[in-house]
Amino acid sequence: MRWTLKPKPETHKVAHLKEALQVDTTVATLLLQRGIETYDEAKTFFRPSLDDLHDPFLMKDMQQAVERIETAISQGENILVYGDYDVDGTTSVALISSYLKTRIDSVATYIPDRYEEGYGISYQGIDFAHDNEFSLIIALDCGVKAIEKVAYATEKGIDFIICDHHRPGKELPKAVAVLDPKRDDCDYPYKELCGCGVGFKLIQALALKQNKTVNDLVHYLDLVATAIAADIVPMTGENRALAYYGLQVINEAPRNGIKAILKQVKKEEFTITDVVFIIAPRINAAGRMKHGNHAVTLLTETDYNLAAQFAEDIETFNNDRREADKQITEEALKQIEEQKEQERFTTVVYDESWHKGVIGIVASRLTETYYRPTLVFTKSGDKLAASARSVNGFDVYNALDACSEYIEQFGGHKYAAGLTLKEENYEAFKTKFESVVKQTIDPNLLIPEVKVDLELKLEQVDNKLLRIIRQFAPFGPGNMTPVFMTQSLKDTGYGKCVGEDDKHLRVTVTQNGANKIVGIGFNLGQKFEVIQNRKPFKAVYTIDENNWQGNVSLQLKLKDVK
């Protein structure tokens, strides 16, 4: 791992913020590293307010979207709420459909089949809308590139409103409205909303027309927080406020579907990390293993007993997903080992039997293991489909764009994308992708980096610092959990490898013979020799709490030792 110490803020700024907030140097520095320079900015950071959300009508096409929906409601039109099959898509569909159903009965939902239809808007979905007399489709978390599909719908007399957050192409679909803060011509102040976030701005605008405020919509924020966490969008600006209040809803009054998921886990208070690792995988499992409709049904169910039954079904899908994920990862790792005759800048693997629903997870696991821009392909109908994942600092979307002559269809973000291509183009694409990455990537990016906020003495690590850091939550890109470094540490002699196959490292560290603190390093078992025999070492870590049999103590979560 590369350890990169973040630059220290200017001394006078630290002194000013310390004075304004009455905090110590460590806390003032951490805040300045997050772009917080004044008392008012700190107040907004520590006490996010829904009053700080931007006016939804600042988003390009919002007025047209609201007018078209109001017309549909007043004329009793049939509205189809259409969304992608992942967490962001299914939460978006649950959000918009449950809001619209408070105002009109003729609302239905549509999630494309991952295997039959693939990602995004499908001709099959439009045909379904036409056959069932839907005159308006609201598409969520997809659609910004669906130029031909929207034109096809127009021919059939169906209007489209698109709510997306992916990067548009050079041309936009000719829809009634295209809500996407990443449009070049959109002046909306915050660009990092997820699909469900864009959906929330739409219902916020509709509510304003009804003389209601954002406070009337708080009960929808459990869905928005789940999507923000799952889609790994920046935890800054509006996303921070939406996630902050969404977490409160999850902990205090979640909808029945989320309540039923949480009931399966013995835990009292849920953090954004729990949303990422407990709620999101289960919602995702429906679309991966069976059909995204199951997730929407769970998230919109008003009867708790029914929701509990749906949650059990989804738990089964999630267990199936785990099995498939484990098996495919093992097969993919074996393939990579067999290909290791030359140094490669990318990881590209393919097997026609791999389950399309889990190739994204497998791509993430391979990226963690080999730290290369990664593509995992499988057979999808008469084509090959892939999930792409990248390493920190490298734009895989741009790399795929440079290979577009071999690709049928692709879309996504800087760090995650999906694509399809013809089987006969696979080898040529693989060669071109390797070449593009080799020519454009900084070789340093192929070594995992841990960014260190501050160097601390061990005596500075205490419960007071942990309490303040916890107020920095919710954490995510743009506001990650603070990482610290301490030098000249020694293990007290109790260090050992723990866990299955001695995978993890457990130490009790001291600095200059004082302040003993336990540290746990997951998957650092191979570093035992660094700390044994009381040799001095340095560590990077986050500060955490260990709760064992009712005893709560401070602990370091080690990220690396040298």
Give average pLDDT by consecutive 10-residue segment, the chain, 562 residues: 94 96 96 95 94 96 98 97 93 97 96 84 96 97 95 97 93 97 96 97 97 97 96 92 97 96 87 92 85 91 94 91 93 87 87 92 93 95 93 94 93 86 96 96 94 96 94 93 97 90 94 89 94 94 87 93 96
**Best CA proximity match to 95, nearest among 255, 238, 247, 248:** 255
H or E element, residue 553:
strand 551-561
* Residue the block writes with tokens 């963690």: 368
Which of the following CATH numbers is that of domain 56-315: 3.40.50.1370, 3.40.50.300, 1.10.3720.10, 3.90.1640.30? 3.90.1640.30
Strand partners, 179: 163
* Residue the block writes with tokens 């795929």: 400
First to last CA, the chain: 10
**Best CA proximity match to 432, nearest among 504, 520, 372, 348:** 348
Are residues 143 and 117 in contact, defined by beta-carbon separation less than 8 angstroms? Answer: no
In the chain, list all ranges with CATH 3.10.310.30. Answer: 339-446
How is domain 2-47+450-561 classified at the architecture level of CATH? Beta Barrel (2.40)
In the chain, list all ranges with CATH 2.40.50.460. Answer: 2-47+450-561
**Best CA proximity match to 193, nearest among 154, 160, 240, 151:** 240
Helix axes 304-338, 256-263, angle to 10 degrees: 60
Written as six digits, the tokens of 144 are 């910004």
User: In this predicted structure, what is the pLDDT of residue 26?
Assistant: 96
In the chain, list all ranges with CATH 3.90.1640.30. Answer: 56-315
Cis bond leading into 474, ω under 30°? yes
Report how far residue 161's alpha carbon sits from residue 69's, in angstroms, rounded to the nearest whole number.
9
Residue 409: strand, helix, or coil: strand
Beta strands in 279-397 (DSSP E): 347-350, 374-380, 383-389
Written as six digits, the tokens of 404 are 């577009």
User: In this predicted structure, what is the pLDDT of residue 117?
Assistant: 84
**Best CA proximity match to 89, nearest among 70, 110, 73:** 110
Report how far residue 388's alpha carbon sits from residue 373's, in angstroms, rounded to the nearest whole number.
7
Q: Which residues, 6+ apart, have CB-to-CB distance to 308 below 8 Å? A: 260, 263
List b or e across 207-223, with b for residues whose CB sees 16 or more CB atoms inside 10 angstroms. Answer: beeeeeebeebeebbbb
DSSP state of 279: I
Our measurement of the distance from residue 405's CA atom to the centroid of its chain's CA atoms, rounded to an integer in Å, reads 29
Report how far residue 251's alpha carbon sits from residue 533's, in angstroms, rounded to the nearest whole number.
45
Which of the following CATH numbers is that of domain 339-446: 3.90.1170.50, 3.10.310.30, 1.10.760.10, 3.50.50.60? 3.10.310.30
Residue 48 region by backbone torsions, left for phi larger than 0, else alpha for psi between -120 and 50, else beta? beta
pTM of this structure: 0.90
Our measurement of the distance from residue 266's CA atom to the centroid of its chain's CA atoms, rounded to an integer in Å, reads 24
